[in-house]
Amino acid sequence: MPQSLSVPDLSLFHASTQVPQPASIKRLASGVEAWNEWRSRTAQMLAAQGAQGAQGRINLREAVLKNAQLRDINLSKVDCCMADLRKADLSHADLRETLFYTANLSYANLSYANLSGADLREASLHDARLQGATLNSANLTHADLTRSVLREAQFRQADLRHASLNQADACMVQFSEADLAWADLSSAALYTADLSRCNLSSATLNQADLREANFAMATLQDALMHEVDLRAAICSAANMIGAALHGANLTIANLSLTNLCMANLSRACLEGTTLIGANLIGANLHQAKLARANCENADLREAIMRKADLQGANFRFADLKMANLSETNLQGANLTGADLSQANVWQANLKDACLIDAVMPDGNLYSA
């Protein structure tokens, strides 16, 4: 028989690393409603005694709860380290500051659960459902979120370093100020996701869907972004030094004031892209498509643009000193006030290009 809910059963609490007491499992087996009522009454009594938290956390460490129906349960601050929660239903659960270190939550339903501040280090969450869940300030370092559904979830200021989000559905997710350094987001869907001010240093995003995503002021230094879809994405003022964007689609993206120094944009599509004031020093734009791109005041010193399509692009007052523009198509481009000192324009197509006040490769102002 379940113990009376009026008694603050402190035997369920612990401060050590022992395996779960039978009382913990028995209490949980009495049902979610009874469990939540017991937790509420116990918390009130302990608070009244000034002893809340003195006995440590409720212990469900290593508990086997596979397929458990735990919708709406309050497991806040419970120790669930190494617990087996495969395919468990934890939707709408209160899991704030819960310990899930190395727990197995694969295929679990955590939709709309509150996991703010939870410890999910090295936890297995592959194929889990976290749609609408709150994971603000949660620790997910080295966690496995492969193929998980994260739509509309919140990961603000979460720690996702080295986490795997390979093939995850993270559309419309809030990642602002999260740490995703060295994370694997290959082939992930991040359509309209908010990654502003995130740290994505050395992250892998190859072939990810990043359409209309917000990377404003994010750090993507040395990130691997081969063949990503960044159409209409906002990357303004982002740090993308050394980023690998070979074959990426950046059509009509906003890269104003973005630092793309030494970035690899070979064969990338930047048609209609805004690059006002961007830093592209030494960037590789070999065979890139920049037709109608706005590169006004951009710094393209020593950039490699051989065979690039720059037709109709705006390079007003751009710095193109020592840039390789050989065999480029600059037909109809606006180079007003641009600096082409020592640039290589061998066989470049400058038909109908505007060169008013431009400094030519020989150091002299353009003369019609």
pLDDT in tens, 217-243: 999 999 999 999 999 999 999 999 999
Q: Is residue 14 part of a domain?
A: yes
Number of independent structural domains in the chain: 1
Q: Is residue 17 part of a domain?
A: yes
Q: Is residue 211 part of a domain?
A: no
Digit-coded pLDDT (tens) for 136-154: 999 999 999 999 999 999 9
Q: Is residue 317 part of a domain?
A: no
Alpha-carbon gap, residue 135 to 16, rounded angstroms: 26
pLDDT bucket at 15, cuts 50 / 70 / 90: very low
Asked if 240 and 257 touch (Cβ cutoff 8 Å), the reply is no
Closest to 73 in 3D by CA, of 62, 58, 53: 58
Alpha-carbon gap, residue 100 to 296, rounded angstroms: 50
Q: Is residue 38 part of a domain?
A: yes
Q: Is residue 145 part of a domain?
A: no
Q: Is residue 95 part of a domain?
A: no
* 24: containing domain: 10-58
pLDDT of residue 27: 87
Digit-coded pLDDT (tens) for 33-90: 999 999 888 777 766 655 444 356 888 999 999 999 999 999 999 999 999 999 999 9
DSSP of 32-73: HHHHHHHHHHHHHHHHHTT-TTTT-EEB-TT-B-TT-B-TT-
